[in-house]
Chains A and B, each alone.
Chain A
Amino acid sequence: MKGTKTFTTFQLTTLVLLRLMIGWQILYEGISKLLIPNWSSAVFLRGSQWVLSGFSNWIISHDGVLQVVDFMNTWGLIAIGAGLILGLFARLAAIAGAALIFVYFLNSPPLLGLEYSLPAEGNCLIFNKTLIEAVGLLILVALPTSSILGLDMFISRFKKSKTKKEE
């Protein structure tokens, strides 16, 4: 199968566990935003520092843009989370997730000299759990499992049968 590697059982188990857990975490982030009344990313964006702070302020100051960002953020997280758990378009979900989470990281990186008014989780310097999660997603891009354990199996089978017929 193109793009699918052969894994030992242990490799496959840990990789699928990683996929399910990151998927769970991202899905719950998305669902929470849906459940909190009047949730808005404005608070997070207002605290933005470093390279993206200018862009974040631009988003906040434009109501329409902020609404789009809020909507895309909530439903983006839900789609990525569900995709990872179900193993449906999981590679695409992992790429999108890594990018999105990297943007979160860039808004509030634990760099020397940057202070935040919202309390951070744990004690971090330069790298934090957000960035680690983004790298975790990159691992899932590099070592995809959704064609072995996930709905992507049907897609790859369909593709395979199609190419066979064409041959």
Chain B
Amino acid sequence: MEKEHKDMNENNSFKRRTILKALVGIPVLGYFAVETLRKWNFDKEKKSRVIKELGLDDIKAPKLLTGTSGKKGDLLRVGFIGFGNRAHQLSNSLGFMHPDKMKSKEEDGTLAEWLEQEDLNIAITGICDVYDLHAEMGLATAHNEVRPGGNSGQNLPAKRYLSYQDLLNDKDIDAVIIATPDHHHARLTSEAVKAGKHVYCEKSIARTEEELYEVYDTVRNSDRVFQLGHQITQNVVFQQAREIIKRDILGKITLIETTTNRNTASGAWIRHLDNDGNPKPGDETSIDWLQWLGSRPYKPFTTDRFYNWTKWFDYDMGMIGQLFTHEFDAVNQLLRIGIPTSAVSSGGIYYWKDNREIPDLLHCTFEYPDKEMTLTYSASLSSSRQRGRIINGHDASMELGGSLSVTADGDSTRYKEYLDKGLIDPSVPMISINPMSGGDIDAITSATEKYYASRGLTTTYINGRSVDVTHLHIKEWIDAIRNGSQTSANIERAFEEGVACVMANKSYLENRRVEWDPVNRRIV
């Protein structure tokens, strides 16, 4: 009896011990829950504390833009002057796509995104291109009835014009989009405005001072709506970047660095060969070469000159006109820097030893002594290392791309206390805004944000939806035509940019420092 009792006791305690063993994971899981909760609260508190103390707690993700465009009965008839590669992208943004491109987009699964784009209630009614093939592509694009937002039902016929004058004289065209090589931009804009058309012109606005002053005066003294083709600042993070600068998060800004790095033949404007290395189509029987040259000195036709015109100063300003224009506009929209006091450029043809005139390595420095600020542009066509666009302040620096990040300066006066306490780490961004993840401010940055910060700027994210920035820029222009609002890249901004670019180009060509005379409004 006693023995039995003892056995039972032993059995019970054995059971208890085994059951306890089986439950070994429970306290571990409990400890895990406690620690996870602590970490979660710590991160949340740290994030909200930094954001609150910096006064950024009321910066919110941008809402989906709602415009007044697209009203029925408000159809805008648009003509294209120049229908090359860029015009295809612009027509996509307007809501038109060439059937071939539509097919390839359908195959790679990106067509649905485009079909979600807002319908701007536009008809493309005129195409002018000196090259038959391009004009035919334009007509096919204009006549394609598949449109975003369902077809608005207004399909007007599109007509080809052999000369731009004929297109401008047509009273049935309300507005023109100029996507020609740069040497036509200023004159076409002036003539279009004089003919009563609203103008969307690709950058750069002008090649020379004379052209620039003429187009500025013409547009300024008219009631036509003008927009220069810069889409970068339509990226939603620019609104937040503006707010961060306004709140003086960066401290005193004395240096703004802009850069371009590319390392491909196409990036260096060698584009006359197709993917198989054969020359692209086009000859003098299908191209009106004299109209293409316009006012420029006569040169015999070559596919090299026709496709790679950027290589010569007769037609544009090289990297200054093609790439720095975007950089200047981005900085000018953000900081309203205006016309620089002086500009110095240097560089050379160091890598692409072909028949080009434009440098493939270029540095430009613009001084703003009254604003106590320098803007630099550093560009290479033989390295693809990305160096970003950086606004350097005494207290923090901001890198601005498709996303935005602000990193505190280790020697900042303003953040000294936070830095000492370890609340702000100068080795990682203290604020980052990635529109891809909803656009809310994230004060704890992961490698992901760093990764996206360096990415391109072709689309932006509004309420988690990918939106083409060029579409937003064109929409702004169309809204302005319809309801009299202002465009962001208006003629004043275009003029400031034009002066800065012409100054930099002049400095390179004349190998000297050039200055802006604000009294006589001339470059000296």
Q: Which residues of A contact B (CB under 8 A)?
A: 16, 20, 23-24, 27-28, 31, 35, 37-38, 43, 47, 61-62, 82, 85-88, 117-119, 148-154
Contact = CB atoms under 8 A, between A and B. Distances in A.
A62 B109 contact: yes
A16 B21 CA distance: 11
Cβ-closest 4 pairs across A and B = A86-B25, A153-B22, A38-B437, A85-B25
Given A37-B440, A87-B24, A151-B25, 17 more contacts: A23-B28, A24-B32, A27-B32, A31-B36, A37-B438, A38-B436, A43-B451, A47-B451, A61-B108, A85-B32, A86-B26, A87-B22, A119-B447, A149-B22, A152-B22, A153-B18, A153-B21
Interface of B: 18, 21-26, 28-29, 32, 36, 40, 108-109, 436-438, 440, 447-448, 451-452, 464
B25 A148 contact: no
A82 B29 contact: yes
A150 B24 contact: yes
A70 B40 CA distance: 21
Contacts of A88: 25
Nearest to A39: B437
Contact of B448 (A43, A87, A148, A151): A43
Contacts, number: 58
A118 B448 CA distance: 8
A38 B100 CA distance: 35
Which secondary structure dominates where chain A touches chain B?
helix
Nearest to A153: B22
Looking at B24, B29, B436, the one whose CB has the most chain A CB atoms below 10 A away is: B24
B28 A85 contact: yes
B37 to A, nearest CB: 10
Contacts of A149: 21-22, 24
A38 B25 contact: no
B447 A118 contact: yes
B54 to A, nearest CB: 20
Contact of B28 (A24, A43, A148, A151): A24
Which secondary structure dominates where chain B touches chain A?
helix
A154 B22 CA distance: 8
B438 A20 contact: no
Contacts of A28: 32, 36
A38 B22 contact: no
A151 B447 contact: no
Contacts of B40: 35
B164 to A, nearest CB: 41
5 contacts: A16-B24, A20-B28, A61-B109, A118-B451, A150-B25
Contacts of A31: 36
Contact of B22 (A24, A37, A150): A150
A37 B24 contact: no
Given A82-B29, A118-B451, A148 B36 contact: no
B21 A38 contact: no
B29 A38 contact: no
B18 to A, nearest CB: 7
A23 B28 CA distance: 10
A15 B473 CA distance: 62
A82 B25 CA distance: 9
Contacts of A82: 29
B385 to A, nearest CB: 12
Contact of A117 (B18, B21, B29, B451): B451
Contacts of B464: 38
A32 B440 CA distance: 18
B23 to A, nearest CB: 7
A86 B108 CA distance: 45
A81 to B, nearest CB: 9
A50 to B, nearest CB: 19
A23 to B, nearest CB: 8
A118 B454 CA distance: 12
A28 B40 CA distance: 11
Nearest to B446: A36
B21 A148 contact: yes
Contacts of B440: 37
Contacts of A62: 109
Contacts of B23: 151
B29 A85 contact: yes
A4 to B, nearest CB: 13
A120 B452 CA distance: 17
Contacts of B447: 118-119
Contacts of A38: 436-438, 464
Contacts of B26: 86
Given A38-B464, A118-B447, A86 B437 contact: no
A123 B36 CA distance: 28
A35 B177 CA distance: 47
Contacts of A153: 18, 21-22
B34 to A, nearest CB: 13
Nearest to A62: B109
Contacts of A43: 448, 451-452
Contacts of A47: 451
A70 B28 CA distance: 27
A149 to B, nearest CB: 5
A148 B18 CA distance: 8
A89 to B, nearest CB: 12
